[in-house]
Structure 1
Amino acid sequence: MASSPTDTSQPGPSHPVVEDARSFAGVPDDTQRLWTPHRMAYIGGENKPEDPHDDEQCPFCAGPQRSDEDALIVHRGQVAYVILNLYPYNAGHLLVCPYRHVADYTELDDDEVREIAELTRTAMRVIRQVSDPAGFNLGMNQGPVAGAGIAAHLHQHVVPRWMGDANFLPIIGRTKAVPILLADTRQLYADAWP
C-alpha cells in the first residue's frame, strides 16, 4: 500500500525520511567538498561581452589597459602578451594573445605569428621551471563551435598537465581543483619570465 503525504508511519525502508538538503549547507559530515563558486561567473557568462566583435567590451583588449597585477598579465611583448586564464582548466593555465583584436589565425600578420609562437615557447619553459608539469596542451579554439569562449579575439592556450590531473572531478563533477590563487601564480610566472 502506497503511503500518502499525510502518512505518519515510522521511517524505515518503505518510508524513507526526505530532508531538504539546503538546510545542511556548511554542516560537517564525512563528505569532502571542493567549493568552486568562482566558476558560476563563467557558467553564467558574467564577464562575456554582449557584442563579441566590439573591442571595447573584449576582455583581451581591456586587459592590457590595466595593471599587470589587476589583469593577471604575466608578460607584455611587442605585439602580443601573456595572461593567466581567469577560468583555468588547470593551475597555471596561460593565454597568449595578440594586442590586436583579430578572431582568426589567418588574420595575424607575420610579426604576430612569430611573437605568439615565441611567447608560447617561453611560457612552456617558465611553467616547467616553476610548476614542473609532465606535459602540456597547446591550442587555439577557432570559433564558438570549436569551444572558443571569446571567439572574436584569438588566444593561444598553454595548459600545464600532470599525471592524474584528469580525475573524476572534471569528468563527473564538472569541477576543477586549482590549488593556488591566480595572483600568486601570476607573480611566480612573472618573476621567472626571462
Structure 2
Amino acid sequence: MSQQDEQYRVAVGNDGRASVGETSDQPYRVPVSNDENGPASVFEHLWTPYRMAYIRGEGKPTGDHDCPFCLIPKMGDEEGLIVARGRTVFAVLNLYPYNAGHLMVVPYRHVPDYTDLTVEEVAELGDLTQTAMRTIRAVSGAHGFNIGMNQGHIAGAGIADHLHQHVVPRWGGDTNFMPVIGLTRVLPQVLTETRRLLADAWAEHADTGAEA
C-alpha cells in the first residue's frame, strides 16, 4: 500500500466513512461509493427563502389582462420605458437591469414560445435586436452583448407566457466583487435618462445595415 493510500485509509477509516479531526498531514477526501451519508454530511447550505414566492409563481401574470408586456405598449414611451416601437414588436428597457442599457425586444402579441411567432414577427424581432446593438454601441461603447431568451418557467423565464428577448450590453470588468459578493449591481444612470439617450439615437442606427 502506498503512503498516499495509507493516508487515505487513516483519514476515512477502513469502512470508507469520513472521520472528523484528522491531522493536517492527512488529506481530507469524501468517498462517493459505499458511503451512505458521506458527501451529504459535508455540503454547506445556502438558504434562499425569498425565492419561494418565485418558485410558487406568486405575483406572476395570469393572462394578457395583467401581463406587463401587454400593458406597457398602452403607456407613453417615457412612462413605459419604451425605446422604440415597431409594427409587430417593441423595444423596452428592463426595469431590473443586469447592466445599464439592458433592454428587451418583445412582440405585441401575448405568445409564450418562439415557435408561436409569425414570419414577420421573427424578422422584425431580429431587426430590432440588430438596431439595439448598434444603438447601444454608439451611445455607450459596449464591448459585447449577451442576447437570448428563456423559454418556459423551467428555463428561467420570469414572465414565461409572453416571449421577450434580452439584449444585455457588456463591458470588460463589469462583473466584479459587487454583484458576486455584495449582491449589488452598480448602475451609473437612471432608467429614464438611459431610455432618452437610446430613443434619441435609435432612428440613426435603425437602417444602417451591415456597414454600421
Structure 1 counterpart of 2:132:
123
Give the Cα–Cα distance (whole angstroms) in 2 for the partners of residues 43 and 78 of structure 1. Answer: 38
**Partner amino acid, structure 1, of 2:175:** A
Give the Cα–Cα distance (whole angstroms) in 2 for the partners of residues 77 and 188 of structure 1. Answer: 18
| Alignment partner of 1:164 out of 163, 169, 173 | 173
Contact 1:50/1:57 (<8 A) preserved = no
**Partner amino acid, structure 2, of 1:150:** I
Name the SS for the 1:111 alignment partner.
Answer: helix
Q: CA RMSD in A?
A: 1.9
Question: Which has the bigger relative contact order, CA under 8 A and spacing at least 6?
Answer: 1
**Partner amino acid, structure 1, of 2:95:** L
Contact 1:97/1:154 (<8 A) preserved = yes
Structure 1 counterpart of 2:13:
none
Larger radius of gyration: 2
What's the TM-score, normalizing by structure 2? 0.68
**Partner amino acid, structure 1, of 2:161:** A
Give the Cα–Cα distance (whole angstroms) in 1 for the partners of residues 174 and 155 of structure 2. Answer: 23
CA displacement at 1:170 relative to structure 2 = 1.5
Q: Deviations over 1:81-110 (max 9, x none)?
A: 000000001000010000000010011110
- Matched-pair identity in %: 59
| Alignment partner of 2:95 out of 86, 91, 94 | 86
Name the SS for the 1:125 alignment partner.
Answer: helix
Dislocated runs of 4+, deviation >2 Å: 42-45, 48-53
Structure 2 counterpart of 1:186:
195
Q: Deviations over 1:46-105 (max 9, x none)?
A: xx9845341010000000000000000000000000000000010000100000000100
- Structure 2 counterparts to residues 56-135 of structure 1, below 5 A: 56-135=65-144
Name the SS for the 2:69 alignment partner.
Answer: helix
Q: Deviations over 1:112-135 (max 9, x none)?
A: 000000000000000000000110
Q: How many residues align?
A: 151
CA displacement at 1:146 relative to structure 2 = 1.5
| Stretch deviating more after TM superposition (92-101 or 165-174) | 165-174
